[in-house]
């Protein structure tokens, strides 16, 4: 777990569970506070965490790491309309 990541109280929207991708490889992510880590470092979080999107040139933290508590996994959900993910949550492929 990353110790210095910022937490947000933003609710997990139902869209996160409705759209599920096939699963992505672990990717480096930059937290809102600038700290770097891997997406897999976030497994175990209980609330969404704002990050800079790893899938497009993100000048503002427009994405979130979102937890899926049921399967103990995390994904990236980007809210930018300019993103290649097209608003589909990119779940980490389970190893
Ligand atoms: Zn994005």
How many whole angstroms from 81 Cα to the centroid of ligand 1? 8
What Cα–Cα distance (Å) separates residue 38 from each residue in 1, 28, 58, 68, 81? 10, 4, 17, 17, 24
For residue 1, what pLDDT is reported? 47
For residue 29, what pLDDT is reported? 97
How many whole angstroms from 58 Cα to the centroid of ligand 1? 7
How many whole angstroms from 5 Cα to the centroid of ligand 1? 19
What Cα–Cα distance (Å) separates residue 72 from each residue in 45, 62, 75, 82? 9, 23, 11, 29
pTM assigned to the model: 0.75
Q: Are 7 and 49 a contacting pair, CB within 8 Å?
A: yes
pLDDT in tens, the chain (95 residues): 444 444 554 445 544 554 555 689 999 999 999 999 999 999 999 999 999 999 999 999 999 999 998 889 999 999 999 999 999 999 999 75
Question: How buried is 54 (Cβ within 10 angstroms: 0-12 exposed, 13-18 middle, 19+ buried)?
Answer: middle
């Amino acid at each position: 777990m990353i110790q210095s990541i910022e937490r947000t109280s933003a609710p997990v929207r139902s869209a996160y569970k409705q759209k599920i991708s096939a699963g992505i490889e672990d990717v480096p992510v930059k937290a809102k506070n600038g700290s770097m880590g891997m997406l897999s470092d976030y497994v175990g979080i209980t609330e969404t965490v704002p990050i800079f999107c790893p899938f497009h040139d993100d000048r503002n933290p427009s994405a979130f790491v979102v937890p899926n508590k049921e399967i103990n996994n995390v994904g990236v959900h980007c809210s930018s309309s300019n993103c290649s993910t097209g608003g589909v949550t990119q779940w980490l492929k389970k190893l």
